[in-house]
Amino acid sequence: MAVALIAHGGAGKWRPGSDDDAVAGLADAVEAGRRVLLAGGSSLDAVCETVVRLEDNPIYNAGTGAVLNFDGFCELDASVMESRESRAGAVSGLQRVKNPVLVARKVMEETDHVMLTGDGAQRFARVMGFPDHDPVTPARRADWMDKRNRVDEILGQRALKMRKFLQEHPEYAGGTVGAAAVDSRGVLAAATSTGGVTLKMVGRVGDSPVPGAGNYADVRMAASATGTGEFVLRSLATRAIAERMGQGEALEQALEAVLAQLGRDYDADVGLIAVDAAGTPVARHRTRDMPHAWFSGEGPVASRMRVPPA
């Protein structure tokens, strides 16, 4: 079976000067996942390896370097899913862990549950041996100060309604990470990790930890979504791709149809990556940028900032 892996670094608008680093970071992370797959490793190992690299790279909005919520601290969401037995694991609202994706995997492998949140997730992480780690970087802290000032200036008392502000300022969005892969046994897996949307309300949970919304894998495909999570939650976008494939559509056609629907329904600023069981990687987005990298079969890793117009 052809192995393949694709990963993204978030739908949005990267600042000039950071775009090359964003693409290079994706290429490195996918190379790490590729090594796992070519050595006969599982798709779950490969997507976790890829996402850990991205979480540890402070330029992305996941793990170290995640964006801060409205009150100025991180609440991290992550999930994994595997086509084998439709297994899934997720965490939301984690505050002090280095690699939320690995905690999500532990939820899947070591508990009867699918998702742990907040305090419980944090306590579970400690029991599983994940040490205390502060994900806040000085750059994100400075960024947060700047954004908070702009929000007060623009929205005044209406600061709880952030979506319009973020749509008008796409440079404040992006950086979520995700990966999807198929291994030599034909097993598919996906993993997604994020700090969520910048300046989110405390307690806000996005699409990334929710199976079928920001992350999904079944016997036909594995996918990860990015962009304003509320749209992805309302449409269950990754699951919608799988359902269209169940009705006979190819991955590319199904993914494009789901994205087009997100455009019609919400004018949603989202992006999707996915891989099918045959090892075809696909990426599409409705934002200006979505850095992504991929490989398939014997091929090398390729990477780019955005999908060129058809």
Q: Is 176 designated active site?
A: yes
Taking the least distance from each CB to ligand ASP, the nearer of 183 and 207 is: 207
Please give the single-letter amino acid code of residue 224: S
Taking the least distance from each CB to ligand ASP, the nearer of 33 and 178 is: 178
Chosen residue from 208, 224, 280, 303 binding ligand ASP by CB under 6 A: 208
CB of 124 to ligand ASP, least distance (A): 21
Taking the least distance from each CB to ligand ASP, the nearer of 167 and 253 is: 167
Chosen residue from 49, 75, 207, 289 binding ligand ASP by CB under 6 A: 207
CB of 48 to ligand ASP, least distance (A): 18
Which residues, other chains included, contact 108 with Cβ-Cβ below 8 Å and sequence gap of 6+?
80, 82, 87, 88, 89, 114
**Strand spans (E) along the chain:** 4-8, 76-82, 87-94, 115-117, 177-182, 188-194, 215-217, 221-227, 270-276, 281-285, 292-296, 302-304
Count of Cβ atoms closer than 10 Å to residue 76 Cβ: 30
DSSP classification of residue 85: G
CB of 56 to ligand ASP, least distance (A): 18
Under rule CB under 6 A, residue 69 binds ligand ASP: no
Residue nearest to ligand ASP (CB): 229
Q: Taking a C-beta distance cutoff of 8 angstroms, is the pair 26, 170 a contact?
A: no
Please report, as residue ranges, which positions from 120 to 179 form the binding site for ligand ASP (by CB under 6 A): 173-174, 176
Nearest of 281, 295, 296 to residue 221 by alpha carbon: 281
Residues that contact ligand ASP, how many (by CB under 6 A): 15
Chosen residue from 226, 235, 238, 280 binding ligand ASP by CB under 6 A: 226
Residue 154 corresponds to which tokens in the numbers above? 């623009």
Under rule CB under 6 A, residue 194 binds ligand ASP: yes
List residues with catalytic annotation.
176
